Structures are given as C-alpha cells and as structure tokens.
Chain A
Amino acid sequence: MKRTAWPLSLVMILSLMLGACGPTPAPAATTAPAEEGVVAPTTAPAEEDKTWVILAEEIPPCLDWDGFCGPSFSAQTAWNNVYLTLVDYKFPSQNDEGVWIPDFGSFEGVLAESWEVTEDGMTWTFHLRKGVISAAGNEMTADDVLWTFARAKSVSGTSPIGWFLGNVASILPLDPMLPDATAADKELKGEVVKIDDYTVQINLFETNPIFLNVLAIFALAIPDSKECLKHATEADPWAHEWMGSEGACGFAPYHLVKWEKDKEFVVEANPNWYDPPPVNRIIYRKVPESTNRFAAILTGDADIVEHLTPKEFNLLEGKPGVKVQGHLGNQNTFLILNWNTPPWDDVKMRKAIAYAIPYDEIIETVYFGDATRWHSLIPPGYFGYAAFEMYDFDLEKAKELLAEAGYPDGQGLDQYRENLQISYPIEKGSALEPIALLMRTRLAEIGVPIELNPIPMTQFVDRSFVKKDMPMALDDWETPIAPDTNYGLLLFYVSTEAGGLNNITNYSNPRVDELFLLARPELDEAKRNEYLREAQEILMDELARVPIVIRKTQRAMAENVTDYHWYQDDFLRWWRFGAK
C-alpha cells in the first residue's frame, strides 16, 4: 500500500473544494436578478425604497467645477445631479427609441419659476421658485444666486469655468482675467442684483441670443451658499477645497451621502425636495472593465451602465430585461491636423486626407452602423448649423490632390515623417484605434505612410491644449457644451489671438474671427444664421479640422428604467428618469 497516495488525494480534494465552494452567499442582494433596482437597505425597508446601481468606468474624483477637477465626465455627471441650474430645456418629444430630446430653444424653470427680459434684451429678471429646500435644510433665496456669480467672478479656483461661462453668457466681463486685475475687479459690480428675496436681476454687457442656454450649463448652477460657507476657511473663502474633494452643497433632488474616491459615489433623495425623484438612492460605482459592466446589466446586478464599447451595445440589443437606448445627436469624431506642422499647413494636403478617409467603412465596422456622416464642423441640431457635403471617400480624388500639393504618390513626404503620426489617448484606444488603423490602411494606398501613436490622456491633453504641437490626432469627446454654432467657433476655430479658447489646430482665419464677433450679440436669427453659415463654409472649405462622423451615444439600462432624457452634454440627469 503506497502510503504517499492519500496525502496527495486529500490535497487534490481539498483544493477542489476550496476552489468550488465558498461560505453561504450573502442575502439575496448579490444574486437576485429578478428584482432589479430593489435592494434591501441596511435599515428596515420602506415601502418605496428603491436603489439603483449605475456602473461607469470612473466615478467623480472631484466636484468643484472651478477647481482641481479637469474635464472628468463622471464629475460632470455628478454635478448635474447634486446641483441644479436656474433653467433647463423643455423636452417636447421622444425619438424613435423612446429617448426624450430637448428643444434647445425652449426652456422651463427649474430653480427659477419664471423670468422676463426687457425689449433691448439687456436686462433679465428671474423670479425664483419658492420652497426650494436643500438637504441641509436651507431655502434658496436671491442671496444664493448672488453668491454663485460672486464666486464665479472671484476667479479663485484653479480653472475658473464659472467665470468663463458667465462671460459667454455676457454677464461677467473680462476684467477679473486681465493680467493687471485688482481685487476690486473680481467683485460683483451690479452684474447680478438682488431685488428681493425671490427676485434677481441680471444685467448683460451685450445682447446675447444664447443667454438661457448658457444659464442651463452646470457651472452656473446655484449652490446652497449657507451650507457651502460652513466649509469655507480664511485661506479658502469660496470653499473650493471642500466643494472639490469632500462634499456637495446644492439645491437638488439628490444629495451626496457617501463618496469613496475610486469606488463609489452614493446619493439619496433630498427629503425636502418639492418634486421627489422616483428612486431613493443611487449608487454610482466604478467598474473599470467594460465586460464586467456588460455582464452586470445582463444579470440584473446593475440598473444603468455607461461607457460600453459600440460592439457591446450591439450585443445587448434584444437581450431580455435590458434595453439599449440612445440618440444620434452631437457626439462627434474628428481628425486634428495641425496648421503649424507641415504638410498640414497646405489645404490641398488636408483635402487629400479628407478624401482618403473610409467614412462608411468606419461607420459600419467601428460603430456598427450607429453613426452617420458629419458634413460640418459644428454638430447637427445646434443653432445656426449648416451642412456642406463637400467630401467623400474617393481615393482617386485624394491621389489627385496629393499630386497637386506636390507629393505625387507620396514622394517627398519622408521629410515629414514625424508629422505623419496619428496620436490618440490610450484610454480611448478601443474606440479610436480601429479608426486609426483603417485610416492607415487607406492612406497607405495613396502613398501616405502613417504611424499610430497612442499616448496617455494626460499627455494628449498637454500636447493638444497647452503645447498645441500634435500634428495629427483623433478626438471623439470634444463637443461644444452650449448647443450653438457661435459657441463652437469660440471654442475651436476663433484664433487664439482673437480669444479662441481651445484652438488645438492653431487655425487662424480673420474672417471667421470677424463673423464670430458679428454673430455674438445678434438677436435677429436670420442674420445671425447667415454669419454662421458663412463661417461654417469657410471651415469646411479649409478643413480647419476634418470631420469624420457623428456617433450615437447610448446607455444600457434595465427594463424598468424609463424616461431617459438626452442632453447635448451627454451626461445623465438621474432625477429625470422614471422607474416602472
């Protein structure tokens, strides 16, 4: 009898047991697919105690739009749920998937109840809603509105977006941001005036056709100043530190109850809110692997999931218990070609590229058909949008243009080897790399050798926003947040000298700068649209950037999640959903 046999078999049995079984599973919550959205809370469950789990690839690392936050999508989603603005869009209709679509020209009051504007368009009077009480127990008054704009004008944060949008709205002047600005320049001087506790007057320095649109953007949300000031210090009188990394002090249907950075962001319904949301508790959780988010929505462990790849959304179509909804709105993918790096300073070369991009192939293989051609450099549906069908996939035409530019069949391009690299963020690799690969293949066919250059997002932002020296790059997340062509021009196409903000491609055309200034205060819609149309034609003719596609933005959600409201910033307003 071999005595060594039994330890071996015992060990194998043990290892099988350890691997296969575990302690008795925790109560139903972890494995219950049937009752989506209903998870037993830690205290005795109330009749209507609903909790939703929303999974995303990251959760807010910070919460101060004026501060240390940078362009974090999850932070922007969070802001729109724990802080609210004076006005918001009306949603008159649903698209064919049942998603509510806003009318960018019509507004309803949120924190404001009603408003008037004078004939000349320069003075707006807002009547605030009464009985708006934050979770901290304070009622919203005109003082909070004043505090909002005073904070914005103080430009005390690292990245003063509040001031920026206040300026775009023609409320706050340039003064605080000028190089020799004094402390006095950073205080409110009658731009926003308190008439009484529930009435505020806003005096513009210029007429502004998109005033209400800008007011609807998160950075002009109205915080609960009494609560926020509790967390201010001498060194930090506007509470940037606390509002940035510790909590939220807003007037909203949800308030922040738990925030574990890099893990989860939990909000609960504000018990004092005049219009309670259908779901009591929302757990916004970080799950870095998209396949796990994908699995979670299928098993019912999640109620809404964000940031799946186009392929994953495609696979979810038709699966029981799950619906994929979205909208083909304004999310855009484009190619950056830097005007400062030859050969991209030659319009013919730029056009050659535009004719060599396999648009339909990209739409089919990368986006599974959930995208469409983009014939402008401004997203469709924006005020003043105009389409110019100038380019299509035509390799012969591309070769012609290449020759006209002086590089027949790509000869002579070797000297620009460094500038023939397409950069894109590694973090966006799953979406952008396939596009880059398709482009590389097609461009090789006409003799233009392209290399791929994936880099970390931080480096990408540095090179695109600060150094502005990236010769070629793919970008699919930059979209103007105000649904207006002129705002888009300001952001991307007005020259830096004339005040353009993120002119990544170093584009400069004096006529475009001129048209921007003409359109900005123009209240006559027809006239304004004329200016904007001319600007877009120039942009498309010169290919300030190369538009590739407008892509669909989607979310996957459980069947009982209803009333998805789409916004142009593509952030979910949890308080707008309905629960069946």
Chain B
Amino acid sequence: MKIVLYILRRIGLAIPQLLGITVAVFFLMRLLPADPVARLLGLLSTQDAYSMAEQKLGLDKPVLDQLWIYLSGLVRGDLGKSWVTGQPVTYELRQFFPVTLELILLAFAVSLIIAIPLGMATALRPRSVADRVALVWGLFAGSQPEFWWGLMFAFVLYYKAGWFPAPLGRISSAITPPPTVTGMLTLDSLLAGNWAALGSALHHLILPVFTLVFILSGPFIKMTRQSMLRVLSSDFVLYARASGLKSFRVATYALRNALAPIVTLVGILFGWMIGGAVLVETVFSLGGLGQYAVRSTLMFDYPAIQGVVLIITAWSLAVYIGLDILYAWIDPRIRL
C-alpha cells in the first residue's frame, strides 16, 4: 500500500516535468535553422505550393495556437501524425519502442549475468590473473565504439563464419511473425507459441546483443569490483570471516551491501540506452527508437520528434522511480 502511494506520488511529480520538457522542446525545435516545409516541396517550390504545405502542417498558425493544439491533442493521447509517413506518432512509437526495449533488456540481462559474478569473483581474488583480465577488459570495452564492433562482429561471425543471419532485420523474411501483443518479437512469439519465430528472432538478436554486452559489461564489471572491494573491507565482513563463514557465503552478504552503486549505474545506463542503442540498431537494421529519432530529427518531423522526446523522458522517469523502489528494497534503512 505504501508502495502504491509512493508510486502515485512520484508519478504526480513526473507529470509537470514531462509537460515542461514537452513545451521546452516545442519551442526549441522551432528555433532550429531549417524549415520543415521545404523538405516536402522538392520539385515544386512555388509560393503557392509552399503556403499549401505550410497550412497542411499547421505551421501557418501562430506558435501559441500550435502549442495549444498540440497540448490538447496530448491530453487525449493524440500525438499528431508524422510529417514523413503520415502515420499517427503513437502508432509509430508503439512499433519502435518495444524493439529497442527488447534489445536492451536482453543486453542488460546478459551483461549482468556475466558482469556481476565476474566482478564479485575478481573482487574476492584481487591481483589474480582473472582480476587483471577483467580490469583490462573493463577499461577497454567501456570506451569502444559499438558501431565499429557491431560491424566487425557482423563481418566475422555472419559474413565469414556464417553462424548468424544477415544483419538485415529482426526476423527471417520466410517466417510469419507472431501477432503483435507487446511489440517485442521474442515475447510475442512465446505468447503465440510460435517457436520458429522465437528461434529466428533470438538468432537475429544474438549479434546486436553481443555487441552491446561487449560494451556494457566493461563498466558493470568495474563498478561491481570497486563496490565489492569497498564492502569486503568493512568490519562486518571481517567479523563474518573470523566467525568461519565460507567465502562464498561472505560474498553473497557483501553483494547485497555492494549493490547500491551497481544498481545506480545499471539504472542510469538503462534509462540512457533507450536512445543510446541507435548505432547498434542501425548497424543491424533493427528499426528501433533510436533510428526513428535520428530519422525524425534529420527530416525535421516535429510531431515525431516531440513524440520521441516524450517517450524517452517518460521512460527515464519510470526507470528512476523503479530505481528508488529497488533501493528501498535492497537497503532496509531507506524509507520511501
């Protein structure tokens, strides 16, 4: 009950934030040095055609009118229509957001499965070979361009070795995709019992997930290691060891105490990656939110840009709420 009230209170706080960002972006976009109308004209750039196009986009009205129209639509859940495709922005967001979400959920899950035990192990055996390897990898991977590595993995593992499918999309064109429920192919295939689709979707996801894991696990290992080292030097650990507890047992106790900074890092990156995965999405032709954001920005598609900003902000806020609840769960000293 307390949790529900807490969530409601946080959502209440989030709404003015979302509104503020929407309005800010609305005005900032109109300060950009290009005219979205021009892109539509192409061959015919007469004054008449320009006025007609301007009218169609609603840009002939005064700015405050445009804002009012947008906000009243927003309240009804209507984010307008994309100026590039003519599709409702909500429809497009519903298509692209789950793609990226699926990618980063898998990437984070795998990274954490690798990074946390590895980080723990290296903290427990500092200066061992494994520790040094993990240290180097941590430093190295975190600063790598995922774009280049993605292309390298595609080249070696798809083109040369043929182990993985071509980076042309999320699923083989020969397989009927499952009916859309969540928008995440893996989940939808599971729900529909379509094993061929599940297999193909996972097969196509392995390389992009691997690329992200390669980059992400670096900072995770480092953070886990540092945090664990700090906790392992505290008094209660000394006491536990002196009491004769097995090393593994001690480690699990220590982990719970070391989690807070790790969770913070994971949370922040998780919130950020929804847009940050764009390069991997592009390399593997996944068609996610990042690609949509880039396309909309370059095409000056105002409604789409607003929609993207809105969803990314809402997502970040949701992740931070989740983080705070997670902290409270991990650390009983924290009150919500």
B234 within 8 A of A: no
Contact A22 B84 (CB under 8 A): no
Question: Given that A466-B37, A502-B45 are contacting pairs, would A458 and B299 also be in contact in the complex, using a CB cutoff of 8 Å?
Answer: yes
Contact A502 B169 (CB under 8 A): no
| Across-interface contacts of A458 in B (CB, < 8 A) | 34, 36, 38-39, 298-300
Contact A40 B174 (CB under 8 A): yes
Contact B87 A158 (CB under 8 A): no
Contact A53 B173 (CB under 8 A): yes
Question: Given that A25-B203, A70-B39 are contacting pairs, would A466 and B117 also be in contact in the complex, using a CB cutoff of 8 Å?
Answer: no
Question: Given that A30-B165, A61-B84, A245-B85 are contacting pairs, would A159 and B285 also be in contact in the complex, using a CB cutoff of 8 Å?
Answer: no
Question: Given that A4-B247, A179-B48, A462-B39 are contacting pairs, would A55 and B168 also be in contact in the complex, using a CB cutoff of 8 Å?
Answer: yes
Which of A6-14, A132-140, A377-385 makes up part of the contact surface? Answer: A6-14
Partner of A466, one of B50, B162, B295, B299: B50
Closest residue of chain A to B86 (Cβ to Cβ) is A245
| Across-interface contacts of A2 in B (CB, < 8 A) | 125
Contact B117 A22 (CB under 8 A): no
Closest residue of chain A to B251 (Cβ to Cβ) is A4
Contact A7 B121 (CB under 8 A): yes
Which of B68-76, B194-202, B265-273 makes up part of the contact surface? Answer: B194-202
Closest residue of chain A to B56 (Cβ to Cβ) is A158
Partner of B169, one of A22, A40, A285: A285
Nearest-CB distance from B183 to chain A (Å)? 12
Q: Which of A366-389 contact B (CB under 8 A)?
A: none
A26 within 8 A of B: yes
Against A, the Cβ 8 Å flags (1 = close, 0 = not) of B95-114 are 11000000000000010011
Q: How far is the CA of A4 from the CA of B119 in the complex (A)?
A: 12
Partner of A160, one of B44, B173, B202: B44
Partner of A27, one of B39, B49, B50, B196: B196
Against A, the Cβ 8 Å flags (1 = close, 0 = not) of B37-60 are 111111111101110110010000
Contact A462 B38 (CB under 8 A): yes
Q: Which of B118-163 contact A (CB under 8 A)?
A: 118, 120-121, 124-125, 130, 151, 154-155, 158-159, 162-163
Question: Given that A4-B247, A456-B34, A466-B50 are contacting pairs, would A24 and B199 also be in contact in the complex, using a CB cutoff of 8 Å?
Answer: yes
Against B, the Cβ 8 Å flags (1 = close, 0 = not) of A250-267 are 000000000011111000
Contact B199 A26 (CB under 8 A): yes
A580 within 8 A of B: no
Give the tally of cross-chain contacts (CB within 8 A).
233
| Across-interface contacts of A298 in B (CB, < 8 A) | 159
Question: Given that A11-B121, A23-B199, A287-B168 are contacting pairs, would A159 and B174 also be in contact in the complex, using a CB cutoff of 8 Å?
Answer: no
Q: How far is the CA of A465 from the CA of B40 in the complex (A)?
A: 11
A444 within 8 A of B: no
Contact A288 B168 (CB under 8 A): no
Contact A30 B84 (CB under 8 A): no
Q: Which of B281-336 contact A (CB under 8 A)?
A: 282-285, 287, 291-292, 295, 297-300
Q: How far is the CA of A427 from the CA of B282 in the complex (A)?
A: 14
Q: How far is the CA of A283 from the CA of B40 in the complex (A)?
A: 26
Which of A89-97, A289-297, A505-513, A536-544 makes up part of the contact surface? Answer: A289-297
Contact A291 B113 (CB under 8 A): no
Of the listed residues B45, B84, B158, the one surrounded by the most CB atoms of chain A closer than 10 A to its CB is: B45
Nearest-CB distance from B99 to chain A (Å)? 10
Q: Which of A157-206 contact B (CB under 8 A)?
A: 158-161, 164, 177, 179
Q: How far is the CA of A2 from the CA of B129 in the complex (A)?
A: 14
Question: Given that A29-B172, A40-B174, A68-B86 are contacting pairs, would A461 and B38 also be in contact in the complex, using a CB cutoff of 8 Å?
Answer: yes
| Across-interface contacts of B84 in A (CB, < 8 A) | 61-62
A328 within 8 A of B: no
| Across-interface contacts of A465 in B (CB, < 8 A) | 38, 41-42, 45
Question: Given that A245-B85, A465-B41 are contacting pairs, would A31 and B298 also be in contact in the complex, using a CB cutoff of 8 Å?
Answer: no
Contact B87 A501 (CB under 8 A): no
Closest residue of chain B to A481 (Cβ to Cβ) is B43
| Across-interface contacts of B298 in A (CB, < 8 A) | 426-427, 456-458
Contact A461 B42 (CB under 8 A): yes
**How many B residues, CB 8 Å from partner?**
81
Contact B174 A501 (CB under 8 A): no
A42 within 8 A of B: yes
A415 within 8 A of B: no
Closest residue of chain B to A262 (Cβ to Cβ) is B287
Partner of B283, one of A14, A42, A262, A292: A292
Partner of B117, one of A7, A42, A159, A264: A7
Contact B173 A161 (CB under 8 A): no
B78 within 8 A of A: no
A44 within 8 A of B: no
Partner of A292, one of B213, B285, B295: B285
Q: Which of A59-93 contact B (CB under 8 A)?
A: 61-62, 68-71
Contact A31 B168 (CB under 8 A): no
Of the listed residues A26, A61, A264, A295, the one surrounded by the most CB atoms of chain B closer than 10 A to its CB is: A26
Question: Given that A159-B40, A262-B292 are contacting pairs, would A31 and B151 also be in contact in the complex, using a CB cutoff of 8 Å?
Answer: no
| Across-interface contacts of B175 in A (CB, < 8 A) | 26-27, 29, 42
Contact B174 A161 (CB under 8 A): no
B65 within 8 A of A: no
| Across-interface contacts of B37 in A (CB, < 8 A) | 462, 466
| Across-interface contacts of B287 in A (CB, < 8 A) | 262-263, 286
| Across-interface contacts of A55 in B (CB, < 8 A) | 168
Contact B199 A25 (CB under 8 A): yes
B243 within 8 A of A: no
Q: How far is the CA of A391 from the CA of B172 in the complex (A)?
A: 53
| Across-interface contacts of A241 in B (CB, < 8 A) | 86
Q: How far is the CA of A23 from the CA of B35 in the complex (A)?
A: 49
Nearest-CB distance from B150 to chain A (Å)? 9
A276 within 8 A of B: no
Nearest-CB distance from B303 to chain A (Å)? 12
A121 within 8 A of B: no
Nearest-CB distance from B258 to chain A (Å)? 16
Contact A4 B125 (CB under 8 A): yes
B26 within 8 A of A: no
Question: Given that A164-B44, A295-B158 are contacting pairs, would A22 and B202 also be in contact in the complex, using a CB cutoff of 8 Å?
Answer: yes
Contact B56 A68 (CB under 8 A): yes
| Across-interface contacts of A70 in B (CB, < 8 A) | 39-42
| Across-interface contacts of A41 in B (CB, < 8 A) | 174
Nearest-CB distance from A505 to chain B (Å)? 14
Contact B158 A4 (CB under 8 A): no
| Across-interface contacts of A23 in B (CB, < 8 A) | 198-199, 202-203
A301 within 8 A of B: yes
Question: Given that A7-B121, A158-B52, A245-B85 are contacting pairs, would A295 and B155 also be in contact in the complex, using a CB cutoff of 8 Å?
Answer: yes
Q: How far is the CA of A426 from the CA of B294 in the complex (A)?
A: 13
Of the listed residues A2, A29, A158, the one surrounded by the most CB atoms of chain B closer than 10 A to its CB is: A158
| Across-interface contacts of A456 in B (CB, < 8 A) | 34, 297-298, 300
| Across-interface contacts of B246 in A (CB, < 8 A) | 3
Contact B92 A18 (CB under 8 A): no
B220 within 8 A of A: no
Closest residue of chain B to A502 (Cβ to Cβ) is B45
Given A245-B86, A286-B287, A457-B39, 11 extra CB contacts under 8 A: A2-B125, A8-B130, A11-B118, A29-B172, A30-B166, A53-B173, A159-B41, A161-B43, A260-B95, A262-B292, A289-B167
Closest 5 CB pairs of A and B: A245-B86, A462-B38, A71-B42, A29-B174, A459-B34
Q: List 16 A-B contacts (CB under 8 A).
A: A7-B121, A22-B164, A22-B206, A23-B199, A25-B199, A68-B83, A161-B44, A262-B287, A262-B295, A287-B168, A292-B285, A458-B299, A461-B39, A463-B34, A466-B38, A502-B45
